[in-house]
Each structure stands twice: as C-alpha cells, then as structure tokens.
Chain A
C-alpha cells in the first residue's frame, strides 16, 4: 500500500559531470539577474539552449544514432538539477528533452526520430505540449480538438490553451480526438497524438498575459490545419496511454521542487547576521529539500531501470510543489522586506515574481487535487 523510494546513488561519473555543468553555468550566468533566475524552466533562450546542446547535455540518454550520448538517467538528473538550482534559461529545450524526445523514442516512427531527435539534441528545435483546452483542464479526456481524415492527411480544428512558450516553439505535440466518443466506449478511446509544425497554415497563436504582466503561455487555434499522416505519433486511438506514459517524466523531475530554489541563498545572504535567528526554519526547509531530492533521484533510478513510476511521480509532485510554493512566502517573511520593488531585477523583484507565480506550481502538470486523486487510486480508495 505504501510507495517506496529506495535510496539511490548518483554514480561517480555523474558527480564529475556536476563540476563541468557548474563551470558552464558560472560562465553563462554572469549576466543573469535574480529575477531572470526566478523564471526557472519557463525562461526561453535559444542561444543558451544551443550552447547546452553543444556540450551534449540535451537528449543525453538517447541512442547515439539519433545524436544522443546513451548516458544514464542519473547523469541526466545531475545536469537538470544543476540547471534548475542555478535558475538557468532552459525553456527552449526543456520540453523536447523531458517529454517530446522520449515520446518519439518510445512511440514515434523511425522517420520522425531521424528528422527531429538530432535537432532537439543540438538545441535547435523547441517543443510545446498541447494537452489542455478551454473546456478541458483536469478532465483532459473531455478534450474536443478534432482531427478528421482529409486526403493523405488530417485536418485539425480546435483550441489548445495554457501552452507554455507555444509562441516561441517550432513544434507542438498535441493530443486530439480522432474518433467521436461512442455510446458506452470509454472517453479515453479515440484520442491520438500528432506532431504539429507550428508554421503550418491555419494556426494562430495568441499569448495570454498572466498576473505578473508577462505572457509565457498561449492560446493556440487550429482552423482547418492540414497535417500529413506521417505526423501521427504511435497508433491512432492510443494517444491517451502514450500521453500518460510521458507524465512520469513530467512530474518526478527536479523541476517540481526547485522552482523557488534560486532565491534561497541570496535571501540568506541578505539576512546576514540576522540569518541566525532563522536557523530552525532553514533547517526544516533543508530537511524537506534534501528528502525530496533523494526521492526524486530515486525516481530517476526507477526510470533508468525501465519502470514507469507514475504513482511515485504524482506523489513527489504533490510534496514538491508545496515546498516550492511555501519558500517565497517564508523568505519574504524572514526578510521583512516590505512591498516596495526597486525594479533592479534583484531579490525583491525575484520574490515578488515568485509570490505571483507560486499559485501555478500546483496547477501546471496536473493539479494538486488530481495528483492526490492518483495517490488515492493507488491506495485502493477508488
């Protein structure tokens, strides 16, 4: 009944890699403000992604014939956690590396793999994820974007929403309905994944401003967009299972507990001598971060062994987003900094940004309530 996270080691090779990544980030990070860093994996910088690609740190677990390095998930983990702890602008390659590439490896055609994977690896191609729709959030299986056969292709009609960085991406992998929900048939049947070149005619992408005044997510309309039949991923009607398999990758990574981490040390530095008064709070935070890190590494080990730790990933995400959500409020409180924002991209601005984005931490990638529902199912309660 309980969920196990066996202690898992990072191999010595991975620790060597850590030093290389830190040196790389020290060089690149010289010009990043703390506000930049607080944007975490939504910050999009193609130059940075190409440099990461040139170091061989994108798609590094993929087979060499697709440009990968056939390295272990645990080595990859070290690269990811170093990038996130430093608040590096990984947004341009994040989704391709985390989800789209692994999906193509598992379910894509050879032609798709050969055409796309090597270009993800170099940091050249950016992907976004087309799941949510205006009327389909947590109830994803109710989605209505349609694909209907037309000649040797498929015609897409419908709207995807909350698509992070769609306005800057090259491809979307979308889950759409290819056959109507029949009487008595489960709603999860008849869903199919497509690879969509976002430069095709009939696609309009509208950024949606959020509460910070910035716009990183989008509404994406398909109006009679024709995609070639070779752009289908996996099999027609198998999209639900395929999309779910991606989620173990999406939910268990360090991106689910480190979003607020980059501001922690700067906040302690600002506190200076006063930090001593908060040793208790800091110790509790450290205990939670360290435990989540151990659990997250353990999950990377499960992925490395070919398991699909969906339940474990949901559970980590539940715990992780609590922590990254609580961190900015706790720090602002300790600092007693007041509401005035200097606008210099420093600590106040970064904390203000995180305070406003924190609510989305337990929404994106599946809400807290959906995660707990998955855990409840694992407990045999539904």
Chain B
C-alpha cells in the first residue's frame, strides 16, 4: 500500500467513522440527503480521485478498491464509488462532469441507487450515455430510493474505451468491494458481541459452536476481500477478463453467509430496529442483487469456462491472476 493511499484511507476512515452512524443512516432512510457529508467527500477530492490515470500519478484501481471497501465497511450512504467511476469515464472521453453525484446504471431495465443524484451514467449497448436522472423512485431493502434509467435526457454518449470493462462489470466490482468491506464490519461486530454478551456465566464467544461460526465468517470475509482485490489488481494489469465476475460471485456468496452468521451470533437484539447490525446486513442483501446476481454472473462465467474446453487453462489464464504485476 502506498503512503498516499494509507494517508487517504486513514482520513476517509476517520471521516466516515465520525459521521456515518445509526442516526445519520436513519435520516437518510427517511429521505434526507446528507449534504454536509457529501461536501466533505468533495473536499477530500474523492469524486475526482480516478480522473488522473495511475501511470500519471493518480489512484490505481487496486487503491480505489481499498477505498470502495472502506465505503462498504462504514456503509456510507452516498454514491461515492459510482461518482468516481462515472467521472473517470467522462474524463477519458473529455466530457465535462456535471456537478454533484452520478449514479451508474447497467441498462434500461436495471434499477440503480438514485439517492441524491441528478445524473446517471447508463450502459447503452457498447456505449455509455450520461443522462439526466428522471426515473421514478422505488423502494429497496436498504430503504434508499432506486430508479430505472428510462427516458432521461441524454447529455453525452461515447463508446466504452479499450481497456475498461462495461458499466455492469464496473458496478459489480464496486459492489463486490463494498460487500467485502461490509462483511468485515459484520465480522467485527459479531466478534465484539460474542466477547461481551454473557450466557451460562461466560461470554458466548467462549463456546466452540459460536467460535466455529465466527471462524467460518472470517474465512468468507477473507475470500470475498481476496476476490475483489484480485479483480481491481487485474484491471490495473490489463488482465481483468473474468475476474470481475468472480469477484461479484464470491463476494456475494460471502455477503449472504456473513449476514446469516452475523444475525445468528447477535441473537434477537440484532434484528431490532435500534441495533446497528441491520443497517449493514440490509445493504449486503441489496448489494448482492445489484449489477447482476451471483447466479446471473455464474451462468455467464460457467458458459465461458465450458466453451474454453479446458478448465485448468481457463483458471490459470482467464481468471485475472496470471499476468499481474508484483503488487505486494
């Protein structure tokens, strides 16, 4: 990890840690827009952090992935990652970015998180289109508005540039990293709770049955994080291929298992409105469904692997890991 990234992550971690609490999330879920927090995100320069390519001193995708995981860990209720990726696309085409956050939509029938956004970058066949957000707001488990990109006025449209995946894949990778971060948060909360909550005269974390559950959760957390990190690194190295699909599938699976175990360990208190846990798990359940479900991605990945006709060759050359630069 570069010093610059470490400093930035440190600062954003503190910013989100200080400001994104249950109270803020309640306000957002009641329809409020946290304009103060967005102003601070702007002040940090986050929305434009991917405009300068890594080779010119900007943030690499791997570094952005670490930031996306931090957004997930703190369940930041702002489309920061979406705006970063959208502004990167616009910058590469020389299109001036509109003021404020931008959502990412994978296609006409895909709902996107429309919270607080005036614009949306939509995948239209092999091109992206910047459109004015016009879709009607729908509900979601995360209790933030979702909309479908249909009929918004188009401001600009360009082909997806060489070397970058389509918006569906970028969105999937973003959510994979956010899920990995949020799963780490669930793990942290569950371990804290298990160390504190007493039953039978001792903390429940002393019971092997609970320890085994938490160890499984830790393994899932590590796998989801590893798959997401691999995808962003592969994108940096120009070898993404199917690594984005793998990240979404694996992080989604980890999210599903983590939400189950996280709630199981917390017992009834975890499903009460006053507890923080469900602000994380409701987002995990939402993010799993965005930019392609696990099954949708797995069907595509399976088809590609089947057509390759040599599974081992597919694993060693088409899954993003083979030609990475030495990153560690």
Contact = CB atoms under 8 A, between A and B. Distances in A.
Interface of A: 1-11, 15, 18, 81, 85-86, 261, 264-265, 268, 275-276, 278-295, 297-298, 301, 305, 312, 315, 318-319, 369, 371-376, 378-382
Interface string B308-319: 001110111001
Contact of B246 (A287, A305, A378): A287
Q: Which 8 A-B pairs have the closest CB atoms?
A: A283-B298, A283-B302, A279-B302, A372-B215, A282-B302, A283-B301, A376-B211, A375-B215
B214 A381 contact: yes
Nearest to A305: B328
24 contacts: A2-B225, A6-B328, A7-B230, A8-B328, A9-B321, A9-B324, A10-B322, A265-B310, A280-B302, A283-B245, A283-B297, A284-B253, A284-B298, A290-B227, A291-B230, A291-B250, A294-B226, A295-B223, A319-B219, A373-B211, A375-B218, A376-B215, A379-B191, A381-B210
Contact of B249 (A3, A284, A305, A315): A284
Contact of B195 (A289, A291, A380): A380
Contacts of A278: 302
A294 B324 CA distance: 11
Contact of B298 (A276, A280, A289): A280
Given A2-B225, A85-B312, 16 more contacts: A2-B218, A5-B226, A5-B229, A7-B328, A279-B298, A279-B303, A281-B298, A283-B303, A287-B250, A290-B246, A290-B321, A293-B315, A297-B321, A315-B222, A319-B223, A381-B210
Contacts of B62: 7
B298 A287 contact: yes
B275 interface: no
Given A9-B326, A319-B219, A283 B249 contact: yes
Given A268-B311, A276-B306, A282-B306, A294 B321 contact: yes
Contacts of B253: 284, 287
Nearest to A12: B323
Interface string B286-299: 00000000110111
B233 interface: yes
B184 interface: yes
B250 A382 contact: no
Given A2-B218, A283-B299, A372-B215, A275 B306 contact: yes
Contacts of A295: 222-223, 226
B205 interface: yes
Interface of B: 62, 184, 187-188, 191, 194-195, 205-206, 208, 210-212, 214-216, 218-219, 221-223, 225-227, 229-230, 233-234, 237, 242-243, 245-246, 249-250, 253, 294-295, 297-303, 305-306, 310-312, 314-316, 319-328
Prevailing SS type, chain A contact patch: helix
Contacts of A264: 311
A287 B243 CA distance: 9
Contacts of B222: 2-5, 295, 312, 315
Nearest to B294: A284
Nearest to A81: B316
Q: Which of B184, B225, B226, B249 has the most CB of A within 10 A?
A: B226
B212 A372 contact: yes
A275 B309 CA distance: 11
B301 A286 contact: yes
Contacts of A265: 310-312
A244 B122 CA distance: 54
Contacts of B316: 18, 81
A291 B191 contact: no
B212 A369 contact: yes
Nearest to A375: B215
A4 B1 CA distance: 12
Contact of B214 (A9, A85, A376): A376
B219 A290 contact: no
A310 to B, nearest CB: 14
B315 A290 contact: yes
A76 to B, nearest CB: 16
B291 to A, nearest CB: 15
Given A264-B311, A287-B250, A379 B302 contact: no
